[in-house]
Structures are given as structure tokens and as C-alpha cells.
Amino acid sequence: MFTIIIAVVSAAVAAAASVACFDISRVNSVWIGLGVFFIIQITIGLIIRKKVNNITGEIQTLMEKTQNKLNRKIAQMQSRPMSSPKSAQQMLEKEQNQALMQALAITDKAKPYFKWNLMLKRQINTMKMMLHYQLREFKKVDALLPHCFIFDARSVAIKAVRMYKNNDPKMEKYLAKKCRRFKGDDAVLLYALYSWILVKAEKYELASAVLAQAKNRLDNPVLNANRENLVNGKVKHFSNANLGEAWYSLYLEEPKIKQQRVVQRGF
């Protein structure tokens, strides 16, 4: 908001001054004003973007350091297994959650720039929403979702999961639309999620139809196997487990054998 105000005032002053001081025509003064307006906008925009990039870079560095640290601990545990795998998992998750909370604290550094960029608050809210989801703070996720950018497949999946958990009747229509929009691995995740929800609701024919649609667009062994299982009445064999972390990070299911999950999210 401040950026626009400063740009407009500067443009108006420049236009008026060009007429009063340099005897420039009103038409040319308008062009001068527009030039000043865009220069101010671009200059301030670049400054704010650099500030925000420093903040997101700090978060990225924190996450990378945390991942490397956890990877070393996992390697040590594999060479010298602990007596309680559950305790080891809890220890790793505790350390990971501490890093996530530090990342949330870092996002607060962007608050002073919200008044300079109208879209920045939504950008930071999206980042915070993802971090809260990884912490399983789902009420905070629900509060932030209406104020986020929902563009990428993971944010779409998270929104769909929360709609499902909150019994939102618009969830199926939302996911059906988003499945058609994405391609590749992004589409695989959304089709897997959509079909899983339908199976849980015992809508087996619709789930099979969704996976048939996916087969026409993608060639994914997990989706294809799930479709074959549904067609042949083997509902109990339906599973998204082979999608690995992409699936389990949605927290709809826990792996039968506990995986040591570490976070690596791009911002």
C-alpha cells in the first residue's frame, strides 16, 4: 500500500513540476509522471523482494541444516540401533519440530514489509500454513488457509485434506477440478488423495472412475494397481503406501514400519 501511495504522489509531483518548471506540455508531463510511477514501483519492489528473499533464505538454510543433522543421527541409529525405535522416532520428531518452530519465528521478520507489498502477507501466510501443517497444528492451518495462495499441488492437497477432515461438502468437487489441472507427480498425489477419500467413503465405483481418468493422463504404477484392485473387488489391497513420503506427509495414514521423516520444503 505504501509503495502505491509514494509512487502516485511522486508521479503527480513530477508531472506538475515538469509543466511548471520546464514548460513541458501536459501530454508529455503525463508520460513523465507515468515513468516516475513505474520507476518508484520497481525500485521499492526490488528492495522489498531482496529483504523477503533474505528471510526465506534463512528459513531454507535452517531446514537444510536440520535435515543434514537428522540424516547423520539416522545413520548413527542404523549402525547402532536403539532399543526402542519409537523413542528414536520421537527424538527425531522433537528436533524437527523445534526447527519448524524456529522457522515460524523467522517468518515474523517479514511483517514490517506487509504494508509495502499487498501480496506479501498471503505469501508469508502460505509459508506459515505449511509449517503449521508439518507441526500438525491443524486449527492454525484452518485459520490461515483462506488467506493463503493455493497454487501448487501440495497446498491444494493440504486444503483438500482439511476440507475432508472438516466434512466440507464441496471437497469432492474441489479435488475433481484440481486433479484435471495438474500434471506429472503433482497430479499423481491429487488423484491418489481423491481416490483414497472415495474409498474411505465406500464410493468404490467413483474411485475406480477417477483412477481410470488418471490412467488416461498418467502412467503411474501405484494408481494403476489401485484401479485394478478396485475393478477386481480387492478393496483391502488399495494402498498409496508406495508413494512414500509424498503420501505420508499428508498425515492421513501412518506407515506400517515407522519411517524417519525429515523436512525439506522449498520456499
By the 10 Å C-beta count (0-12 exposed, 13-18 middle, 19+ buried), 153 is classed as buried
For residue 81, what pLDDT is reported? 64
Q: Measured between alpha carbons, how far apart are the two ends of the chain, in Å?
A: 24
pLDDT band, very low/low/confident/very high, at 259 (cuts 50, 70, 90): very low
pTM above 0.85, yes or no: no
70-110 pLDDT, tens per residue? 888 878 777 776 566 677 777 888 888 999 999 999 999 99
108-125 pLDDT, tens per residue? 999 999 888 889 999 999
The set of cell numbers assigned to 245 is 513420503
Q: Which amino acid is at 98?
A: Q
- Do the beta carbons of residue 165 and residue 184 sit within 8 Å? no
- Do the beta carbons of residue 149 and residue 123 sit within 8 Å? yes
Q: Poorest-confidence range of 31-35, 114-118, 189-193?
A: 31-35
Calpha distance 176→173 (Å, rounded): 5
Question: Under 8 Å CB-to-CB from 17, ≥6 apart: which residues?
Answer: none
More confident residue, 14 or 92: 92
